Each structure stands twice: as structure tokens, then as C-alpha cells.
A and B are shown apart, each in its own frame.
Chain A
Amino acid sequence: MLTKRAGLKLATAFAALMVAGTASAAEKLRLLTWADYAPADIVQQFTKETGIEVEITLSNNEEMISKLRATQGAGFDLVQPSQDRIAGPQQEFGIYKPLDVSKLKSDLFIASMLEATKKNTTLDGKVYGVPHIWGTDGLIVNTKTAPNVADYNDLCSAAISGKASFRAKRPTLIAFAFANGMDPFASYNDPKAYTAMMEKVGAKLAECKKNVKYFWDGKEQLLNSLRSGEIVAAMAWDTGGWKLNSENPEIKFVAPKSGALGWVDTFAIPAKGRNDDAAYKWINFNMRPEIAAKVAAAAGNFTASNGADKLMQGKLKDQFAESFPKAAIDNIKWYPAVPAGIEEIEGKILDRLKAGS
């Protein structure tokens, strides 16, 4: 049995522990982000400079939004959804907090990209996101075994039957819409027209399904299959293509004829974030050219940091130049903000695509 004295001691110790616990929590930044966006050495440097520890959770767009929705915007201090996934979910679920742009060093950003992102993530006159990393969706092609793949539709050609892959996700729908002469972005705010368009795309994809080995989900799974030759062409992110290109020059990232899809991942602050100061510090720290260059190199993508491109390694630049001639850059389709309800329409098409055989 506990004596009174021992009990008292235990209570004191417990109280001390609680205080210590909250004290250390106050110095923490809880970051919800993509893989490779917060390399260990960058985090270390940040902690050294500011004394703030960074707790990282890896995720993707849908899960980020779902996680924040479940807690109504609590649990994290900084998140990194794509710029087109901010305004819609904000309107629907109210999971983000308006940014205090004055706390950000605007001159660290590429001005045009900052403005475009702000515009895309503005709701009721308030800005919810600023750009961090950007890249494209296009085709990773094994030019030796699948020399004729130049556009999304070529994934459906009989020549590579059973050796193609794409994701059963919305970028695929958008890409195939463009490839088949439609402009999905123009119909974003017309649900009826958009539904009709998506149904057409769905039919096209259903036809294409027999060509597909699997709908890829994890990036590594796809890259492994491309390495082993089980898959010879896939719709995927540029970064993966360039990574494979470094290992095997025959595998290339190709900007499709109908246009690569351009995405921008942002910084946004959850509605119930507890440490906004740390969040702003992290953003400003990350946009410093030398830091941004390191992060971009780790992720294999490009950064919205002004001047970081000059610090980047030559290899990626060369690969970019090979994949994107001038015309292809101009042809990149940048995602506009996704209006609420669009995912509903797309979701059903994707469900049917997965169910069909």
C-alpha cells in the first residue's frame, strides 16, 4: 500500500512530468506533408536555428484533407496540400486558417507563381495557401520497349497490352479528357457538362483497362515495375521518371502531346493549428534559396523559391530540358481550384472504372 507521503511524492512527480510534457510540446511544429518534402538534414538545421522541433507525418492530398476534416482542422500546425485542393475543401469543411501574408517574406517566392497560387486559394477575399514545390504529371516511358508512347491515349494501344499503368485517381480523368480533345477545366463550374464529359472519359478508360497491369497507388511500386520491365509505360510524376532516367537512360519522362498536368503543392495552416509562429518560421526558412534547392533536390522536383534554380544540380536541369522543350512548357495544364462537389462526380466514374472488368 502507498503511504501518504509516497503518494504525495508520486503526485508531485506526475505533475512535474505533465508540466515538462506541455513545455516541450510548445516548441513543436507538427507538419503534415508529402514524402521527401522535409529531409532530415533540413529539419535538423531548422531545429538548430530556431529551437523548434519538427514532427513529420507523411500523407497525400486526400488523406490530408480527410485527417483535417476528422478533427475539424486540429492535430497539425502546417499542411501541404496541392493548390487546387484548398478552396473547395475550405468551403465545404472549413479546415484551414487564412494566412497572414505580412508574416511571409514575399520576395523569397517566384512572384508569378505566388500570385497564381494566392489567386487559386482565395476564398471570400482571404488567402489560404502559398506555393512550395511544383511539378508535372506526364508519361514515364521505356523508350526501348515502348517507343511509340507519346500521349496518354497511347497507354491504351495494343502494342503495350498488359504493360501499362495509371492511377485510378482524378489526374488520370483530367489527362484523358485533354488527350481526347476536351477541356475539363472549362467545365469545372458546370456540373452537368462536367458529368457528361467524365462519363465519356470513363468509357474511354474502361476500354483501356485491359491494357493496364494495375492501377498504381504507391510510387515505389510503380517504379519497381518499370525497373523490372513488367510495366513499360505509365502516367506518373516527372520526378519518378527522372529518377529512373538516372538509373537507366532508356526510361524517360515524356511531356505528353496533349500537355503535362502542372501541380503546385502549397503551405497552408490548419484551422486549429496551435503554433502558427513556428509554421511561418518554417515557411520562410524553407523558401530561402539554399534550403529550397536542397529540398527540391531531395524531392526531385522544382521549387517556388526565387533563385533556388540557380543553385540546383545540373542533372535535373538537363533532364527537365530533355522532357520539356519550350512548346511543352507552354502546353502544361495547370490545375485550377477544384470546386466543391467535383470529386463526387469523378469518384463515381473512378468507382465504375475499378469495378468494371
Chain B
Amino acid sequence: MKAYINKKPYDFEEGESILSVARRNGIFIPSLCHFAPLGHRPATCRVCLVQVTDATGTRMVTACDTPLSEGLVVDTFSKKVRDMQRMQVEMILADHHQDCAACARHGNCELQDLAEAVGLSRNRFANLLQKPAASRTVDQSARAMVRDMTKCIRCLRCVTVCRNIQGVAALTVDGKGLGASIGVGMAPDHHSSACIQCGQCTLVCPTGALAERDENDLVLDYLADPDVTTVFSFAPSVRVLLGDEFGFPAGTNVEGKIVAALRAIGADVIIDTDFAADVVIMEEGTELLGRVSNGGTLPMFTSCCPGWINFAEKHIPEILPYISTTRSPQGVLGALAKNYLPVQMQIPPSRIKTISIMPCIAKKDEAARSQLARNGDPDVDVVISVREFARLLRRLGVDLFTIPPEPFDNPFMSASTGAAVIFGTTGGVMEAAVRTVYAILNGRELQGIITAPLRGLDGVRTAELDLGPKVGKVKLAICHGLRNARILAEEVLRGTSPYTFIEVMACPGGCIDGGGSSIVKGQYHPERARRQQSLYTMDDNMVYRQSHNNPQIKALYNNYLEKPNSDLAHHLLHTHYRDRREQTSAGIEENMRKITLAE
């Protein structure tokens, strides 16, 4: 089939949109709400206007949701098209927060790009609106993120990612007219809503309407306080994520540069979340073997991912007994930084402030859990995402690109293994656990490194592994994206799950595409494969591949914890969960008042 765009003929398939054919052929049509990676096409922004002519006449249509038809004549560039595209953006901006400079997305905003694309040169309407954007909700109640509806342009991408990728469906469309914006369902505020704060919505939001809570000023306060000993750490994936923000090719390992940058900004102690990941394997692996040999609750789910824990607590609490009680690497790191490290380094624990750099924003919420605090003092004092850390370095004038790399030097909590570093990708926790569990069970290392079928990017991957004569063959499952996690969890609750151990990472791809990772405008997880490969390459090049062979791990158990799952280990490194499912209900009559429609 053939149609004409700007007078040139193009082939197309039945049902294809004007926008997709134009894009395929390199014809630019400005757009905003459309989000191709998720097939999201709400047609709400009305910016991708084109003029079409067929037998019935000439009219303006939106290119995203209008199919090409045989012989259709499309004009993407006439004066009328350009004028109407420009007025559309002028209208969107009139109903948008007016102070760009104060926004986290300043310079990285799709609406700013769009204004440039349509040649916006004036702002006639903002002052004419009696209900300005500034009157909409700014919800600060959630620990990890801010829902700033003054910046919402109603593209609804967040709603789609929350539903289709995560299966959480916490986000709703509320209000009407100029008051329409993204809400949190029947919940009174964001914190108490069904939102699990995974932050995937912040990766697709074109503006700053859904964004991480920026806590850099707290970090700066700690750095500036002479009575505080700052203990910085960063997660496995951070070393393959941060480079993006400073011009490195995607997936570049910038571990040494991060260490150097942290020293440059005045960090007192720099330790590695990798080390804590190895501790997690020791504890979780031992816990798993205990459950297997003592008839404990199986299958066991991993517990590293706070998005998953929030999901389990809020959406499917029946699954909580199946989740490992081992704290996440961040939780382990915080406990050891405030208990083990002070003993080893002779620092008063009360001076220590732990600052965790994460690919994740749900880790902010995790750090605030009462279960992860002692006498009201949280084990992790502040969590900043990769995006915030990049901003922090820019604020402090540190250019990651040019700074020479430096090694870790902490003798107690900075050694890493290949097992630890792959925690950053889906399948990594499982792979690391298999290496150590096999060795504990059989008294010898697994021959070679088992990769297939644990590696890959399919949403659910399963494998059967022979763990040796004591346990025999076990079935394992790995999933990422909570929609997949729900499927596996429901299977467990039905009693039909064949698995012994299940790894869950809330974000698709795992931490390498965490809700705190870099935003690539208009794309969804474009660098996943490179980031994942980079972690695997680091694993390949490590001196130690297994958590139990990490010399600092051996020292930790020999000198302090005695053995995995010891009383002290339980006290410091394990946690518990609680049912936080919201039992919402509303009276019919009281709900009538919420209907936004004249009777």
C-alpha cells in the first residue's frame, strides 16, 4: 500500500500509524505523549499534528493514532501544521509549572526539547488561566519520590509503565479539566498508596512530574559536618551506570573513578556494597540450605530488592513467609558499617553517617524501614540515586570523565568478587548463590561457571541444577518486572510451584535499569545489554568469583560473626516483613461526591 508524505510516496502496512511510517522513513514529527518502547499511544498531547487529504477532504489529525490509508496525502510541514503544533505546545506550557530553572529535569526535559522543536517563542496563555498549574498537588509523602503534579503534562506514560511492566497499577488519572493529573487511587496520599516506589515511572516521565526525592543537601550537610564520619558505599550496578551521565559509552566500568570522585568530595570512608552482596550470599545461601534440610518454607524468594519487598507487603502479603529474612546488601552494609566497622577502625559509632549510592529509589524507602534501624538510628542514613550522585558531583565541580581512577583501600568492607558484582543484573543473585551453595554442600567448587540458562533477559527464566548428592536436582526461577513476579508468587500460593529458589528483581533487567538510573529521553532501558555485559566482563576478570572466597568475608566471619546465620548474624543481618496491604473500601454515598461529572 502506498501513501504520500510531503509529496513523496511511501509503502506501509495496513493499520500502521502515520507517525510510525514517518519515523521509519526519517521524517520528523514532533511528539510528546507517545512512547514507542512501551507501545504507549494515548493521543493526549495532540502535538504530532499533520494535515491529511483524502477523498472526503482535508483535515488535521494526530499522526500517532491515525492510520495511513491508500493514497492518503500527508503534510507534516505546512504553515498551518507548524502553527497548530506550536500553539499546542504553548497551551501545554501555559498549564505547566512556569519555573524551569528550579526543576530536576532542567536541561533533560522532553517538554523543553519540544518547545524548541516547534519554535516556541511566546507564552501568551499562562496568565489567562484562572486555575494555574501551581494549584495542583505536590505530594511529598513518599520517602523515595515526589509526585509534583504542577509539572504533569498528562502523557500517562507513568500509568502505562506501572500497569503493563510492573503490574502494580498504583497510579490513576484523577480530577478533570485543568485539575486533571496523576493520582494514587483511593489512597489518601502517595506513601500509603499501592505504589511500591520502584521508580520506573520516573524513567519515562518526560518532565519532572514524577521524580526521585533529591537528598543531596543532606549528603552535603554530612560532608560539611566535622563531627561526622561519612561512610560512602555504592551498589554493584552503579559502576556501570554513572559513566552515562558523564559522557562515557554506555556500560563503561567507572568503579575507580567513583572511588576517586568520592575521595575528591571528602568522603571519610569508602566501602563497597559488593562486599555486602557477598555477605548476603553467605547468609541467604545458608538460610536456603537450612530451609531445604529442615523442611522450612519453600520455595524461598530473594530479598535484595526493596521494590519487590514493598510489592509483596502491599500487594501479595501471603507470600511474605517465603521471602528470605536476609537483609538486602544495603541493609547488611548499613548494619556492618555501624557495628563491625567501628570496632575494626576504632571510630565511635555515633559519628558515623552511612551514605548509599544506588541505582534505585526504592532503596530510600528501604533505608527508612523501622526494621532496619537500631534505637531509632537508621543503619543507612541517606540514599542517593545515580541521578542524584551525578548531580552532586556536578554541584561540587567533579568531572568523572577526567578524574583519574583510584582503588578502594578499606581493609574491612571493600573487597569484591565476581559473584557480588553480578548482583546488578537479573539472574546475578541466583548465579552468585548457586556458586556458594554448591560449594557449601559439596565441599568443593562447582566446576566452571554456570551461565546459561540463568543469564539472559527473558522475563521469567527457569533452570534445573544438580546441587550434588546431598540435595540432588533443584528447580530455580528468575524473574524481573513485577508483573512476572506476581505470576510466580501466585503459583507458589496455589501450591503448584516446582521451584526451590526464586530470584526477583522489581525493575526489568534488574538494578542496571533501576528506577534511580540515568534517564534516556524517549527511550526505555536502551543500554540494558551493554550494562549487563559489562558486569559479566567484570565477573570474568575478578580474582575471586565466589562470595565465600572473598578474603574480607572470611575475615568477617572468622573475626566477628563466627558463621553464617549465627546469633549475631541473625541479630544484625536479618529482618522481618509485615502485611501492609491496604484494605480499602468506600461507602457508595460518600464515593458519589468524588464523581467529576455534572448529574
Do A and B belong to a common assembly? no
Instruction: Give me the interface of A with B, judged by CB distance under 8 Å.
Output: none
